[in-house]
């Protein structure tokens, strides 16, 4: 297929033009300084809490930011609970959501309940805290000027690691110096340290070994100041203040000088965003660096671009949960960087191609070669061309003395490649190639030429016949034939208002798929059939909602799907062929003060609207008969990365490759519609921060969302109820709008004006439902998932029990007395019946308790009478044989009988011991004293005690547990549990079998297991073995069990805060498990 040279140039221009225009990457920066409410301009650190609030550390104060206002937290020396901050150095949020502040006078943490910072528990004292890192166990590793600190927040334990000269800790003097500047943790528990004097070290707390990396692979870290350390994916990343950004493989002792160092060397701070992307805060801007692709993107301050960095020097960078950026600009406050915005901009930044000469662009047009034409409010016209790259400037000709053409509102290229232009008091003009200038179009007859010579031109288009249609604002619609130079004017006819042009003050127009011309005007829309030259008009009818929502029609647009749209000063309308009428689809009822400036469309079923307050994406669908339309809208504003907040009417165009351009008050915003679908912003959230009844807190303090089923019960009599709340919307800076309603008092929404508190006075008894919502960026209202239910209890004197006697008294004293006496007698009778019922219930409960006690006693007596008498009977029989001189028993039989007697005595002793323990526990005489101790010692002791019994039965008994296994338990009780379970296991395991004692830690619990290869327990008996009297039968050598041991085991384990259970062992036997907590101290 043969492709023309001109087409190739066109395609090339479409491919390359926007790579040149898109100078600035997709991050929009918004500034906060003293002038925006930031209390302190110098920010030293930034973090984000678990709720989502941004915390900023000044030199002596901490500020919480919700996207609207800054709340200052400054401790003072007069506080009872804490001391004042003395110069803040670091801010850190740990994995549990706790916020920590490192200062020159120690470590502070944020107490949510008290809503203030308090001095952290532990032996940190007044040390200068410089940096934080957290290991996998949740421990904080803290860099200070007195050494390295391991702080365990859960148990408030502090361990110091210092050098040999330190007087703080004698046990861990392993470090080369006390002064630790930076710290970061490896997943394996090793700690990287940067010290002063300068040095880079890897410290292993497990072995107390320190490895010196100060001079590695030819690089001397002792000669540079390290600003940040971070370990990720097997590499240590190092930022320095003079040498740049480095990556180190510690195992190979290899240092990589990253390519970003070709652009910058002074790294003030950095943060990793994902597996490959790092953000670097430098003295030469903000850098986005991909360590895998080695891609480098620089962000800096750009003059005349309000969405660029406010300052080139960046001191600190923080990536929040939504991967947006927070930057400290030193003494210039902070910048918020909104990531992945889909919008780019053309700015007033120079005199090169695709740089604006002025902000006020009033018309945009793309001609056949892809060159962009711009018309300015000043009358200037620019042609931005790509091949060759350049910019040409033109002016519309002055046709009368003292009449200078103004705003250029229409530029158009016809099928003959002629360029036409018009504007305020300019008439119709055409570009003459030889003169390379716009000259007045020749128009006949002269009378018409004089009429439109300085006319206000608002729109130009071409029909299929090659006629040029011109909107002469104030004159009407013009049809111009370039060949004959004839111009015909169509005007509004007062005698035919519905069959002539709707109004002479026309704006733009468009051709639909049937060739009809649709014209927007200051009063209604006209449809013109060029073949029949017939007009149809469409107006607003206040009595008919299925008409234009306003007669002020600012623009019309015909999309590729054949839908005709009309944008008015009150919203968007679509033409319904079935109804032969425009129907409102998106109006100022849906979005306040909605006025449509321009309409563009790239994809079927989708529109783009520029308005007086931002840009909208509209997705639409007709019903089957095209009489109604459903739409979904998405609103974009300056908080989404738009340059402008208000857009010029009809100053819009779409390039050949589907890029949409809108001109506004700050320049031109342009974008690829497809990219807007992947752009997501988190929704604004609203939180209850405090509820006060007469000044007293009655709701849990600290910021919290209203949960489903949340309930607040108050006594009657409170004079005032205050509800304080806050909104969180970091990506939409500015004042937040709230609304609320208290159902039960007023079911209508109450809209607040900048307040973040509501109050109610003298609420009557009843149930109320408080709903709070915040306005989202798209102007939709949204709130928490739940509704706060407020219950005001009804006092007695407002109940019917008070009013009935009162009315009876008023009705008659005598009748009242009789009725009161009757009520008293009935009440007394009911009270007696109630007392009898209660006593009956108490007797029933007592009888049940006695019956259970009798059953227990019977079971105990059965055990004593049967299980205790049987071994004694056997023992006595053996002793009778041994003491009978005439028994004639040989010596070797004597030994066998003595062994049997000893075994019987041991069984009897074990039974007695269990009986005594059980009896003591039933009488509540055993105190459960739980303390944290080494469980492995108790386990090993019981293994050693049972070794002889196991050897006697030829059973292999072994223990598998760590040497040091900490748990919280009562030693005597747990010793009894282990002894009973091991005894049972040995009892029911045959010769040659195995019994294994195992223990391990799972989270906050220690699990102890005894596994045997014995005769096992039937599955249906598993649930009953811990009940009194449920014996497991006889052992492999005839040992008799009572089942009492397992009952004691269950009670003792549960009193220690654990659980006990059994399960079959594979292939044979049983496994008994019981659990103990790791941390639990109490007396039971």
- Least confident stretch, 452-456, 631-635, 723-727, 780-784: 780-784
Please report the pLDDT score of residue 605 as a whole number. 94
Cα–Cα distance measured from residue 900 to residue 360, given in angstroms and rounded to the nearest whole number: 110
**pLDDT at residue 79, as a whole number:** 47
The tens digit of pLDDT for each residue in 795-852 reads 877 767 767 777 777 777 777 677 778 878 888 888 888 888 888 888 887 787 677 6
310-314, 625-629, 702-706, 849-853, range with the lowest pLDDT:
702-706
pLDDT of residue 15: 40
Q: How confident is the model at residue 917, as a pLDDT? A: 64
Calculate mean pLDDT across residues 710-738. Answer: 81
Answer yes or no: are the C-beta atoms of 946 and 986 closer than 8 Å: yes
467 has a pLDDT exceeding 70: yes
- The string of pLDDT tens digits covering residues 531-545 is 999 999 999 999 999
Give the pLDDT band (50/70/90) at residue 896.
low
Percent of the chain topping pLDDT 70: 86
What pLDDT score does 794 carry? Answer: 83
Decide if pLDDT at 5 tops 50: no
Which region among 374-383, 765-774, 916-925 has the lowest average model confidence (pLDDT)?
A: 916-925
Three-state SS string over 257-288 comes to ECHHHHCCCCEEEEEECCCCEEEEEECCEEEE
Mean pLDDT of the chain: 86
How sure is the predictor about 18, in pLDDT bands with cuts at 50, 70 and 90?
very low
Instruction: Check whether 2 has a pLDDT greater than 80.
Output: no
- % of the chain with per-residue pLDDT over 90: 52
Residue 12: its pLDDT value, please?
41
Give bridge partners of residue 511 from the DSSP assignment: 517
pLDDT at 22: 35
Evaluate if residue 212 carries a pLDDT over 70: yes
Contact yes or no for 588/602 (Cβ under 8 A): no
For 296, residues 6+ apart whose C-beta sits below 8 A from its C-beta are 259, 260, 263, 287, 288, 289, 290
pLDDT at 6 over 60: no
Mean pLDDT check: name the lowest of 16-20, 118-122, 469-473, 767-771.
16-20
State which CATH number among 3.90.45.10, 2.60.40.790, 3.30.565.10, 2.60.40.10 fits the domain covering 927-1083: 3.30.565.10
Query: Which tokens in the block code for residue 983?
Result: 């005894």
Residue 507 has pLDDT above 60, yes or no: yes
CATH entry 1.10.760.10 includes domain 685-798: no
pLDDT digits (tens, 9 = 90+) for 246-255: 999 999 999 9
SS3 for 104?
Answer: coil
Parallel/antiparallel/unpaired status of strands 994-1002 and 956-960? parallel
**CATH, domain range 361-677:** 2.130.10.10
294 to 26, 259, 299: CA distances (angstroms)? 19, 7, 16
Structure tokens at 534: 């017939």
Q: Which has the higher per-residue pLDDT, 927 or 217?
A: 217
Between 599 and 867, whose confidence is greater?
599
What is residue 547's predicted lDDT score, i.e. its pLDDT?
95
Could you tell me which residues come within 8 angstroms of residue 459 by beta carbon, excluding any fewer than 6 positions away? 409, 410, 469, 470, 471, 506, 507, 508, 509, 650
Q: Tokens 């997943």, residue?
A: 187
* pLDDT band at residue 13 using 50, 70 and 90 as cut-offs: very low
Q: Which of these, 917, 797, 927, 803, lies nearest to 860 by C-alpha position?
A: 917
Instruction: Render 44-72 in DSSP notation, one character per residue.
Output: -EEEE-SSS-EEEE-SS-EEEE-SS-EEE
Mean pLDDT of 1053-1076: 90
Average pLDDT of the residues in 393-414: 91
The alpha carbon torsion through 1039, 1044, 1045, 1048 (nearest 10 deg) reads 180
981 phi, psi to nearest 5 deg: -65, -40
963: pLDDT strictly greater than 80: yes
> What's the average model confidence in pLDDT over 16-25?
39
Q: What is the pLDDT of residues 280-313, one digit of tens each?
A: 999 999 999 999 999 999 999 988 889 999 999 9
Residue 1008: the pLDDT is 94
Provide the pLDDT for residue 491.
96
Given a cut of 90, is residue 401 above it in pLDDT?
Answer: no
Q: What are 529's strand-pairing partners?
A: 534
**Average pLDDT of the residues in 572-589:** 94
* Complete DSSP assignment for 956-971: EEEEE--SS-EEEE-H
Q: Which of 350-354, 530-534, 908-912 has the lowest mean pLDDT?
A: 908-912
pLDDT band, residue 983 (cuts 50/70/90): confident
Query: How high is the pLDDT of residue 1033?
Result: 57
35-276 has which CATH code? 2.130.10.10
The whole-number average pLDDT for the span 769-792 is 80
Whole-prediction pTM? 0.68
Q: Is the pLDDT of residue 466 over 50?
A: yes
Can you give the pLDDT at residue 819?
74
Measured CA to CA in angstroms, residue 273 lies from 12, 51, 260, 276, 898 at distances of: 35, 19, 16, 8, 77
Residue 700, pLDDT score:
61
Distance from C-alpha of 440 to C-alpha of 428, rounded to nearest angstrom: 6
CA 238 – CA 216 distance, rounded (Å): 13
Q: Is the pLDDT of residue 394 over 60?
A: yes
Is residue 8's pLDDT more than 60? no
Give the pLDDT mean for 139-166. 88
Q: Read off the pLDDT of residues 91-102 as tens digits, 9 standing for 90 and up.
A: 999 999 999 999
**Residues contacting residue 318 through CB under 8 Å, at least 6 positions apart:** 46, 47, 48, 271, 325, 326, 327
Name the band, by pLDDT with cuts 50, 70 and 90, for residue 853.
Answer: low
């Amino acid at each position: 297929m043969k492709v023309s040279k001109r087409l190739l140039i066109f395609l090339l221009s479409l491919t390359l033009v926007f790579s040149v225009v898109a100078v600035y990457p997709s991050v929009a920066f918004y500034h906060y300084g003293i002038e925006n409410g930031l209390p302190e301009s110098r920010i030293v650190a930034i973090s984000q809490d678990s709720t989502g609030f941004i915390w900023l550390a000044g030199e002596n104060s901490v500020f919480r930011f919700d996207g609207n206002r800054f709340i200052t937290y400054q401790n003072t020396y007069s506080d009872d609970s804490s001391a004042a901050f003395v110069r803040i150095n670091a801010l850190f949020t740990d994995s549990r959501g706790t916020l920590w502040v490192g200062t020159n006078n120690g470590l502070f943490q944020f107490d949510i309940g008290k809503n203030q910072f308090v001095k952290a528990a532990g032996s940190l004292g007044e040390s200068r805290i410089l940096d934080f890192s957290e290991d996998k166990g949740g421990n904080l590793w803290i860099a200070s000027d007195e050494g390295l600190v391991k702080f365990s927040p859960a148990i408030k334990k502090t361990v110091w690691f210092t050098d040999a000269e330190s007087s703080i800790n004698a046990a861990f003097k392993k470090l080369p110096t006390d002064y630790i500047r930076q710290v970061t943790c490896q997943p394996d528990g090793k700690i990287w340290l940067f010290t002063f004097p300068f040095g880079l070290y890897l410290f292993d707390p497990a072995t107390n070994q320190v490895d010196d990396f100060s001079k590695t692979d030819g690089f001397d870290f002792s000669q540079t100041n390290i600003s940040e350390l971070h370990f990720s994916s097997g590499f240590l990343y190092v930022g320095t203040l003079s040498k740049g950004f480095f990556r180190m493989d510690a195992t190979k002792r290899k240092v990589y000088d990253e390519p970003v160092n070709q652009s910058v060397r002074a790294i003030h701070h950095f943060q990793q965003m994902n597996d490959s992307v790092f953000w670097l805060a430098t003295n030469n801007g903000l850098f986005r660096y991909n360590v895998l692709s080695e891609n480098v993107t620089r962000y800096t301050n750009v003059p005349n671009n309000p969405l660029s960095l406010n300052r080139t020097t960046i001191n600190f960078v923080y990536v929040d949960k939504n991967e947006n950026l927070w930057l400290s600009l030193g003494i210039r406050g902070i910048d918020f960087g909104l990531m992945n915005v889909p919008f780019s901009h053309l700015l007033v930044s120079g005199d090169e191609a695709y740089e604006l000469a002025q902000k006020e662009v009033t018309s945009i047009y793309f001609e056949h070669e892809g060159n962009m034409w711009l018309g300015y409010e000043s009358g200037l016209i620019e042609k931005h061309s790509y091949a060759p790259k350049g910019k040409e400037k033109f002016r519309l000709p002055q046709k009368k003395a003292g009449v200078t053409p103004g705003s250029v509102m229409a530029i158009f290229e016809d099928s003959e490649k002629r360029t036409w232009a018009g504007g305020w008091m300019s008439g119709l003009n055409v570009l003459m190639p030889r003169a390379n200038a716009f000259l007045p179009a020749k128009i006949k007859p002269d009378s018409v030429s004089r009429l439109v010579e300085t006319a206000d031109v608002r729109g130009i288009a071409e029909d299929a016949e090659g006629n040029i249609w011109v909107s002469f604002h104030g004159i009407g619609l013009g049809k111009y034939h370039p060949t004959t130079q004839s111009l015909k004017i169509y005007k509004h006819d007062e005698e035919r208002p519905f069959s002539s042009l709707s109004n002479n003050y026309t704006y733009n127009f468009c051709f639909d798929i049937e060739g009809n011309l649709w014209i927007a005007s200051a009063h209604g829309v006209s449809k013109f059939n060029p073949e029949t030259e017939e007009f149809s008009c469409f107006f607003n009818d206040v009595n008919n909602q299925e008409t234009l929502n306003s007669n002020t029609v600012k623009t019309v647009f015909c999309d590729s799907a054949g839908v005709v749209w009309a944008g008015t000063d009150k919203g968007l309308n679509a033409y319904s062929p079935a109804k032969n009428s425009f129907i409102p689809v998106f109006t100022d009822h849906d979005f306040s003060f909605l006025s449509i400036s321009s309409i563009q469309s790239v994809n079927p079923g989708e529109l783009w609207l520029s308005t007086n307050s931002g840009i909208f994406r509209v997705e639409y669908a007709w019903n089957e008969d095209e009489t109604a339309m459903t739409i979904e809208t998405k609103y974009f504003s300056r908080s989404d990365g738009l340059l402008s907040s208000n857009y010029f009417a009809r100053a819009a165009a779409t390039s050949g490759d589907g890029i949409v351009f809108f001109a506004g008050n700050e320049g031109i915003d342009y974008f690829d519609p497809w990219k807007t679908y992947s752009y997501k912003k988190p929704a604004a959230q609203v939180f209850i921060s405090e509820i006060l009844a007469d000044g007293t807190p009655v709701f849990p303090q600290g910021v919290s969302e209203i949960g489903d089923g949340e309930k607040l019960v108050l006594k009657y009599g409170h004079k005032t109820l205050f509800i304080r709340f806050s909104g969180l919307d970091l990506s939409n800076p500015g004042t937040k709008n709230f609304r609320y309603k208290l159902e039960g008092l007023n079911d209508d929404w109450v809209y607040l004006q900048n307040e973040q508190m509501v109050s109610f006075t003298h609420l009557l008894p009843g149930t109320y439902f408080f709903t709070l919502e915040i306005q989202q960026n798209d102007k939709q209202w949204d709130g928490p998932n739940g509704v706060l239910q407020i219950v005001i209890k009804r006092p007695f004197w407002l109940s019917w029990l008070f009013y009935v006697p009162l009315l009876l008294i008023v009705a008659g004293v005598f009748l009242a007395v009789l009725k009161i006496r009757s009520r008293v007698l009935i009440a007394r009778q009911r009270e007696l019946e109630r007392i009898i019922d209660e006593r009956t219930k108490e007797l029933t409960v007592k009888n049940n308790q006695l019956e259970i006690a009798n059953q227990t006693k019977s079971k105990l007596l059965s055990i004593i009478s049967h299980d205790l008498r049987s071994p004694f009977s056997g023992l006595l029989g053996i002793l009778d044989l041994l003491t009978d001189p005439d028994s004639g028993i040989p010596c070797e039989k004597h030994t066998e009988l003595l062994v049997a007697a000893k075994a019987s005595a041991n069984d009897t002793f074990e039974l007695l011991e269990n009986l005594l323990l059980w009896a003591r526990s039933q009488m509540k005489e055993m105190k459960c004293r739980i303390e944290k101790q080494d469980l492995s010692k108790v386990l090993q002791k019981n293994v050693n005690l049972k070794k002889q019994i196991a050897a006697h039965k030829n059973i292999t008994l072994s223990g598998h547990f760590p040497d040091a296994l900490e748990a919280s338990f009562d030693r005597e009780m747990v010793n009894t549990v282990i002894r009973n379970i091991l005894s049972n296991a040995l009892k029911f395991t045959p010769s040659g079998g195995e019994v294994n004692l195992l223990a391990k830690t799972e989270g906050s619990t220690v699990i102890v297991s005894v596994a045997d290869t014995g005769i096992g327990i039937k599955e249906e008996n598993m649930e009953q073995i811990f009940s009194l009297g449920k014996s497991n039968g006889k052992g492999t050598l005839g040992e008799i069990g009572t089942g009492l041991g397992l009952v004691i085991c269950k009670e003792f384990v549960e009193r220690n805060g654990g659980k006990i259970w059994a399960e079959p062992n594979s292939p044979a036997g049983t496994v008994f498990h019981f659990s103990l907590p790791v941390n639990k101290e109490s007396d039971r």
